[in-house]
A and B are shown apart, each in its own frame.
Chain A
């Protein structure tokens, strides 16, 4: 399975290389800066909507929340309104905890067998790295709004100040960059190190990680090491946003590599597990209230089924029922109780 990781790495390196050299040739540069970004964004938006619509169009026939706490039953028993919600606010709180804080992953505790015993050990590493990664990514995406909006919104400036709070180096080091790289590195390392996770990992798992890492690394190189002309980048971004793409002649290769990686990532999302960002909202084990005995949940395709009716049952066993002194609907010999099924 190691080949999966190698292929994924090669694929991401190839994309990076294409970006780095693409700027040298005019048609390729135009494709990179004027065609691919639109194609990628279109692919992302259309694909994302398509996937969500596909899920949403499938009904939820049964109310199947996984309950992770005490139900709401007797008034004097304290229920768990978030982990086992029975109301809409409870469900919203549960979803918020799941999406913003990764509640379920937080429960993660490694189990292993040692000396014929089950040993449960704490491990917050997966939860912490996953949470750190996602929040850092969100922060970085929001910071990038600076490139697309003129004037730059105040909250973007505030985020930047917060992110560069430690004032380390010139330009100031963004905390989110450090966290993102650290978390990604851990998540990749974990896929290699943990034999169980290595066993289950597909090409696509490594590809998504390397693609994100490649994007982050090219971005960081640009900011801290290989300086690029930010003004021309912003010009391109604004022109793209205004649907009048006009690329400057001299865009840095590192920027083009970064751009191509971002476009690949965006276009890849709808075809991949990265759709979990939309799917998590629709998960029926999490987004339903545990109130299926209090309110009837309707199933839109509640097909009729063949049952074994009481009349059929009594017809088959009538003599035995009567002999046992159990009341019957139709006394022996009083007529046909229906289409009894016997064998």
Chain B
């Protein structure tokens, strides 16, 4: 926790934004990437440096590299060129950004974040900018601008909330992605993004867990699930010929509270007898390449289809993870498809064909489970979650890059009797980010994370005070890793859980022993018995 209290207040912006000088303060920045990670990934300008240094040791021709990089991307991405040109600075986006609301720093207004880039675009790529300079809103590209870019493009979680309100659909995530790509060209990147990327490239997952460690973690979870249920639960690894390849974020088998969600998946798969395998090679669904460059995203994502092909599975099932699903939904098929070697996903239990995933062949676990519940294939005792009064946080990417809004809610309403929504302008497509996405979730950046997460936390506080909510559910690994800290600071007394953790609690498994505790080992609110008629799923 930060030594000084984070004060959230509103301050009117003042001064001239064209002044690029930024003060790097501890607690509000991410540290630079270690040279070994850059070298391993083959990225340029590996060196020791920190954002707080006066000299960033940029390559001598950094300016040419940046401008060439911009030119190339303006040619390759319509989004980039268009979003550089058409903003009218109406300001509708300004107060939609959690970082602006939490920091009152005017350059955190989405429009301003984009102007940091646009002013350079105008100066070097437009006629009016070349002639009229400042009058046309153009600025010179200086080292201060590079530092400013670094500061503010690593103070954006690519959550896309501002884009929902923009009359032209200008997406700050696109601009931040371009900004980070450009900074990567001159070696200005953060370790919290590139170390997971390097790990993932080498070992298969962000945490750098090697195959035997992966097996240990999975076996440990399987044993614990077996112990809780009294059933024999085993998890196949790299098994050829399975029907389904299950891919999850590595945090699910290495972090808490993610781990309870993993238990929930394993119990579900055991109960329905799913013919599946996990992979120690494709042992990461998340993709920190998304936070670095399109190229890195593609490099890290490639192993999912490759492994599905090698193992000869029919289709891919993906676990609870936000940015993983942005990649799987909007990029994977384009980057590494077509996946003609797979089959159109079809639930072996209900026969439902997931036509919405017929090309990419990847199904979200919430789509899969909601379908199971809808067809009455699961015996659920929602009273086993009576100790929770839950609300649901829409994770940014599934909400705004996919529209996965109802599936998790449908599951929750079937497994949990106490559910309350947060205010409507803070959920669904208008959901507020956790403040730690896009590779900002590191402890050295905690002050800024607490600021950025404030709007989300405040909406949780509202339902805590109004309905006594004590559990924030979500379907994102970064949420599960960072929201506990956020809530501990702003709304003590509210825990964080995955949707499939609550499913695991409520799931009445065939032949299970009488369970007295939930997956966390906490006692149920009232004794329940598997033998009693369980509350059937809602067939409406």
Which chain A residues have a beta carbon within 8 Å of chain B's beta carbons?
1, 7, 51, 54-56, 58-74, 76-80, 83-84, 86, 98, 102, 104-105, 107-114, 116-118, 120, 126, 130, 194-197, 199-205, 271-273, 275-276, 279-280, 282-286, 290-299, 301-303, 305-310, 313-314, 316-317, 320-321, 323-327, 329, 343
Contact = CB atoms under 8 A, between A and B. Distances in A.
Given A98-B167, A102-B167, A284-B82, 18 more contacts: A55-B82, A62-B330, A68-B403, A110-B95, A120-B425, A196-B91, A197-B94, A276-B88, A279-B168, A292-B334, A293-B329, A293-B333, A299-B335, A307-B303, A317-B203, A323-B212, A324-B215, A329-B310
Interface string B341-365: 0000000000010111111101000
B247 to A, nearest CB: 14
Q: Is the interface of A mostly helix, strand, loop or mixed?
A: loop
A320 B204 CA distance: 14
Given A201-B89, A205-B88, A279 B82 contact: yes
Contacts of B95: 110-112, 196
A205 B10 contact: no
B400 to A, nearest CB: 6
B165 A117 contact: no
A310 B333 contact: no
Nearest to A196: B94
Contacts of B151: none
A283 B367 contact: no
B36 to A, nearest CB: 8
Contacts of A196: 12-13, 91, 94-95, 106, 109
A275 B86 contact: yes
B370 interface: yes
B79 interface: yes
B513 interface: no
A71 B356 contact: yes
Contact of B370 (A77, A84, A204): A77
Interface of B: 8-10, 12-14, 16-17, 39-40, 42, 74-82, 85-92, 94-96, 101, 104, 106, 109, 111-112, 115, 126-128, 135-137, 160, 163-171, 174, 201-204, 210-212, 214-216, 237-240, 280-281, 294-295, 298-299, 302-303, 306-307, 310, 328-331, 333-335, 337-338, 352, 354-360, 362, 367, 370-371, 374, 399-407, 410, 423, 425-426, 428-430, 454-455, 458-459
B137 A280 contact: no
Contact of A74 (B204, B329, B371, B426): B371
B306 A310 contact: yes
Q: Lowest 8 A-B CB distances belong to which pairs?
A: A71-B403, A279-B86, A195-B12, A67-B403, A285-B169, A286-B169, A293-B360, A324-B212
A78 B165 CA distance: 23
A78 B81 CA distance: 35
12 contacts: A60-B78, A66-B163, A67-B403, A78-B406, A86-B356, A112-B10, A273-B87, A280-B169, A293-B359, A307-B306, A313-B202, A343-B40
Given A305-B298, A310-B281, A321-B280, A70 B169 contact: no
B169 A283 contact: yes
Contacts of B88: 205, 273, 276
A66 B160 contact: yes
B406 A77 contact: yes
Contacts of B8: 113, 116
B254 to A, nearest CB: 16
A183 B285 CA distance: 50
A294 B128 CA distance: 43
Contact of B10 (A104, A114, A282): A114
A77 B410 contact: yes
A292 B360 contact: yes
A70 B303 contact: no
Nearest to A329: B310
Given A77-B410, A120-B423, A292-B334, A130 B167 contact: yes
Central interface residue in B81, B111, B328, by most chain A CB within 10 Å: B81
B85 to A, nearest CB: 6
B334 A77 contact: no
A59 B78 CA distance: 6
A200 B302 contact: no
A80 to B, nearest CB: 7
A203 B135 contact: yes
Nearest to B331: A62
A55 B335 contact: no
A78 B425 CA distance: 20
A60 B74 CA distance: 11
